[in-house]
Amino acid sequence: MKIGRLAYILQFVMVSVLISSSAATASAQVEVVKGRRSFGVSGFAGDAAIAGQVTDVLKNDLRLSGYFALGPVSSAEFVQTGTVRGDRANLTVECMVMQQATKKVVLSKAYQGSAQDLRRVVHRLSDDIVQTIAGQRGIAQTKIAFVWARNGVKELAVMDYDGHNPRQLTYDRSISVRPRWSPDGRKIVYTSYKNVFPDVLEVDLYTGQRRRLATFPGLNSGAVFSPDGSTIALTLSKDGNPELYTMGADGGDLRRLTHTRGGESSPTWSPDGQTIAYVSDDSGAPQIWMVGRDGGAPSRLTVSPSYNTEPDWSRPPSGSDMKPMLALTSRVNGRFQIGVYDRSSGAVQPVVADDADNEDPSWAPDARHLVFMKSQRWRAQLYLLDVVTGEQVQLPAVEGGASEPAWGP
Amino acid sequence: MRKKFLVQVILVSVVAAVALTGCKSPFWKKKSGAAAGAETGVPPLGAGGETGIGERPMVSSAGALQHGQFAPVLFDYDSARIRPSEVSKLEAVAAYLKSNPGKLVIEGYCDERGTAEYNRALGERRALAARDELVKLGIDASRISTISYGKDRPVDPGHDEAAWAKNRRCEFVVVNQ
């Protein structure tokens, strides 16, 4: 680290700390606000090519965060300045953010990396700005798993939250679908047809190793980790009908939760881990139901529209005053749309309703953004939604089609 | 005065070391080590015989399943009910199984409308409904196993009611082993 070279900058009090993935930044916490704050990005001095890239990624991150309205520096409440130093192998990105009216420097920080992981470096910076000014957990460093359909097969893939750096996880030339993350972000459980029958497999992202979690006769699918990571809920049909079960994350202690004539699928754990919402068509058309983690009498949540599936509970960050929300996919007039279930009224509020089919919502860990699949003329791509502003953003399209996204922790 | 002084004080500046330590790195942060194909020898759950109806036959790949021997049983939209018009197709399957050895794989499929995981459960319910009908016709349930493909692998790639009607189906594959 070239500390000596940096030290002359008066504004920078250098504290050299190695921080791992979840850095808690000690910084000035400006008030928490719901509205968007005006923000001017003046860019970065230094190598023009690298500085331009850093600026572009930062602007995109700040825009996607939902907390900022980017505009001219002259009239912005907050203004960013910065410098890029070093060469491509050893880069330092220095950034300062000032509140113009008070001349108060709210963030001043340096980040090290290489040109190769420039996007990751800027994502850290963006999350620090979101934390400092909005007082919220940013999502710029998160990942999204999804199903990548091309050449007649479906493989699992993982990409950055902004759709960049898509990487294929499986190479089975089969059907790999419905990924869900472990709470620590280390593992993904999913449904694989690589051994002909649909099984629940788990892949460890650090080692690349896989193991079979559920290979019962019939359907093994829809696996999802409990918030504490100890338990997996899933759908099995081994007893003659698709029903909900739980099992330990180590594969033992199988328990059956539902007993119906209809089909149960798509479990999602409530943030406290005490209940599981899921889809059942026991009453005819598919609707969202809820059952305790140890079973008991299920209760029906949704009544209308006449088709509600793929529920996903949001998990507000700890310490946040946000309420958990249940996102789902409804069918209305033959079209699929994303809705949010309102517990107090029992109604489903549409949040993405247009002339496309919008399906498979998955919450970001900020409990504010959703990733979902939009299918237009039967071509499926992924979009982000900011539920506060209602803004939709299409992620960079992948070759073939992308579906069944799962936002990582 | 004090306020102005504070303004000048930078709170904390951290050199963020982005590179994480090796053993905690997901595969995408490593130079090599894609997850391709690696599967360790962890035995399946309940090694040596999971319980449930219809033991799985040994099938090496989905391509080894020979389709077309029997007419597919078709379904109404969003329904797993066996239509009276389809029963004769199941009777033909049952007649074959009564006079021939082997196991039967029933594949349940849906049309492309509807959400993915819900359709996996629906396809399974279609396959199980066909199985239940075959059991009524005297076939031992232990000879039958099911696969739901949900809305994957349509037989007709079209996007209209004619294609959808063909895709809402069960297919029957005999596996001799």
CATH number at residue B77: 3.30.1330.60
A183 lies in the same domain as A323:
yes
Q: How is residue A1 written in tokens?
A: 């680290």
Torsion-angle region of A240 (φ positive above 0: left; ψ -120 to 50: alpha; else: beta): left
Q: How is residue A396 written in tokens?
A: 């960079």
**CATH number of the domain encompassing residue A390:** 2.120.10.30
Helix or strand holding residue A213 (H, E): strand A210-214
Contacts of A228 (CB under 8 A, 6+ apart): A183, A273
Query: What was the pLDDT predicted at B13?
Result: 35
Binary contact (B52, A238; C-beta < 8 A): yes
Domain boundary among the residues A67, A99, A134 is at: A134
Percent of residues, chain A, with pLDDT higher than 70: 92
One-letter amino acid for residue A218 of the chain = G
A172 lies in the same domain as A257:
yes
Q: DSSP string covering A112-136, please?
A: EE-GGGHHHHHHHHHHHHIIIII-S
CB-based contact (8 Å) between A38 and chain B?
A: no
Helix or strand holding residue B136 (H, E): helix B116-136
A181 lies in the same domain as A202:
yes
Confirm whether A86 is domain-assigned.
Answer: yes
Query: What was the pLDDT predicted at A145?
Result: 98
Confirm whether B128 is domain-assigned.
Answer: yes
Confirm whether A89 is domain-assigned.
Answer: yes
A107 lies in the same domain as A226:
no
> In angstroms, how far apart are the furthest CA atoms of chain B?
99
What is the distance between the alpha carbons of residues B93 and B172, in angstroms, rounded to a whole number?
8
Q: DSSP string covering A28-96, please?
A: --PPP-SSPEEEEE---BS-HHHHHHHHHHHHHHHHHHSSEEE--GGG-SEEEEEEEEEETTEEEEEEE
A206 lies in the same domain as A104:
no
CB-based contact (8 Å) between A120 and chain B?
A: yes
Q: How is residue A216 written in tokens?
A: 């019962």
Contacts of A319 (CB under 8 A, 6+ apart): none
Strand partners, A39: A70, A78
Confirm whether B169 is domain-assigned.
Answer: yes
What is the distance between the alpha carbons of residues A80 and A43, in angstroms, rounded to a whole number?
7
CB-based contact (8 Å) between B137 and chain A?
A: no
Residue A219's φ and ψ, nearest 5 degrees, are: -85, 130
A188 lies in the same domain as A297:
yes
Is the distance from CB of A392 to CB of A350 less than 8 angstroms?
no
Confirm whether A25 is domain-assigned.
Answer: no
Degrees to nearest 5, angle at CA A160 with A159 and A161: 115
A122 lies in the same domain as A153:
no
Option in A165, A169, A217 nearest B50 (CB) = A217
Confirm whether B161 is domain-assigned.
Answer: yes
Q: How is residue A208 written in tokens?
A: 């690349």
Domain span at B75? 64-175
Is the distance from CB of B104 to CB of B143 less than 8 angstroms?
yes
Binary contact (B53, A213; C-beta < 8 A): no
Binary contact (B116, A177; C-beta < 8 A): yes
Confirm whether A23 is domain-assigned.
Answer: no
A110 lies in the same domain as A249:
no
Confirm whether A22 is domain-assigned.
Answer: no
For the beta carbon of residue B176, count every other beta carbon within 10 angstroms: 8
Q: What is the ipTM of this complex?
A: 0.89
Confirm whether B16 is domain-assigned.
Answer: no
What is the distance between the alpha carbons of residues A235 and B22, in angstroms, rounded to a whole number?
36
What's the full length of chain B, in residues?
177
Helix or strand holding residue B122 (H, E): helix B116-136
A127 lies in the same domain as A147:
no
Query: What was the pLDDT predicted at B52?
Result: 62
Q: Is the pLDDT of residue A28 over 70?
A: no
CA distance B84 to chain A (A): 20
Is the distance from CB of A46 to CB of A16 less than 8 angstroms?
no
What's the rounded mean pLDDT across residues A33-47? Answer: 88
Torsion-angle region of B79 (φ positive above 0: left; ψ -120 to 50: alpha; else: beta): beta
Strand partners, A157: A146, A168
Q: In what order do the strands lie in the sheet with A401-407?
A: A167-168, A153-160, A143-150, A401-407
**DSSP classification of residue B31:** S
What is the distance between the alpha carbons of residues B98 and A159, in angstroms, rounded to a whole number?
52
**Taking the complete model, does pTM exceed 0.95, yes or no?**
no
**CATH number of the domain encompassing residue A76:** 3.40.50.10070
What's the full length of chain A, in residues?
409
Supply the mean pLDDT for chain A.
91
Chain B residue nearest residue A280, CA to CA: B118
Give chain A positions within 8 Å (CB) of B11.
Answer: 26-28, 108
Nearest CA among A83, A21, A111, A24 for reference residue B16: A111
Q: Is the pLDDT of residue A3 over 60?
A: no
Distances (CA, A) of B1 to A11, A98, B5, B84, B173: 19, 19, 6, 89, 85
**DSSP classification of residue A316:** P
Confirm whether B69 is domain-assigned.
Answer: yes
Q: Is the pLDDT of residue A22 over 90?
A: no
| Range name among A7-21, A239-253, A292-306, A367-381 with the lowest pLDDT average | A7-21
What is the distance between the alpha carbons of residues A38 and A80, in angstroms, rounded to a whole number?
11
CB-based contact (8 Å) between A86 and chain B?
A: no
Q: How is residue A118 written in tokens?
A: 């420039």
Of the CA atoms within 13 Å of residue B134, those in its CB half-sphere come to 31
Confirm whether B18 is domain-assigned.
Answer: no
Query: What was the pLDDT predicted at B59?
Result: 84
Confirm whether B25 is domain-assigned.
Answer: no
Query: Is B7 strand, coil or helix?
Result: helix
Our count of domains for chain A comes to 2
Contacts of A22 (CB under 8 A, 6+ apart): none
Domain boundary among the residues A134, A151, A167 is at: A134
Domain boundary among the residues A75, A109, A134 is at: A134
Binary contact (B117, A265; C-beta < 8 A): yes
A356 lies in the same domain as A207:
yes
Our count of domains for chain B comes to 1
Confirm whether B153 is domain-assigned.
Answer: yes
What is the distance between the alpha carbons of residues B18 and B20, in angstroms, rounded to a whole number?
6
Confirm whether A26 is domain-assigned.
Answer: no
Q: Give me the average pLDDT of each 10-residue run along chain B (177 residues).
A: 41 33 48 36 37 73 87 97 98 97 96 96 98 97 96 96 98 90
Give chain A positions within 8 Å (CB) of B27.
Answer: 167, 205-208
Nearest CA among A119, A91, A365, A1 for reference residue B28: A119
Q: How is residue A223 written in tokens?
A: 């696996």
pLDDT tens digits, A200-241: 999 999 998 999 999 999 999 999 999 999 999 999 999 999
Domain span at A261? 143-407
A283 lies in the same domain as A331:
yes
Distances (CA, A) of B14 to A4, A14, A107, B17, B101: 15, 6, 10, 9, 72
What is the distance between the alpha carbons of residues A111 and A118, in angstroms, rounded to a whole number?
10
A170 lies in the same domain as A96:
no
What is the distance between the alpha carbons of residues B161 and A377, in angstroms, rounded to a whole number?
15
Residue A370's φ and ψ, nearest 5 degrees, are: -125, 145
Confirm whether A105 is domain-assigned.
Answer: yes
For the beta carbon of residue A145, count every other beta carbon within 10 angstroms: 25
Strand partners, A191: A177, A200
How would you label A33-61 residue by residue, b for 16+ Cβ within 10 Å and e otherwise?
Answer: eeebbbbbbebbebbeebbebbbebbbbb
pLDDT tens digits, A339-370: 999 988 899 999 999 999 999 999 999 999 99
CB-based contact (8 Å) between A121 and chain B?
A: yes
Query: What was the pLDDT predicted at A321?
Result: 87
Nearest CA among A360, A365, A404 for reference residue A179: A404
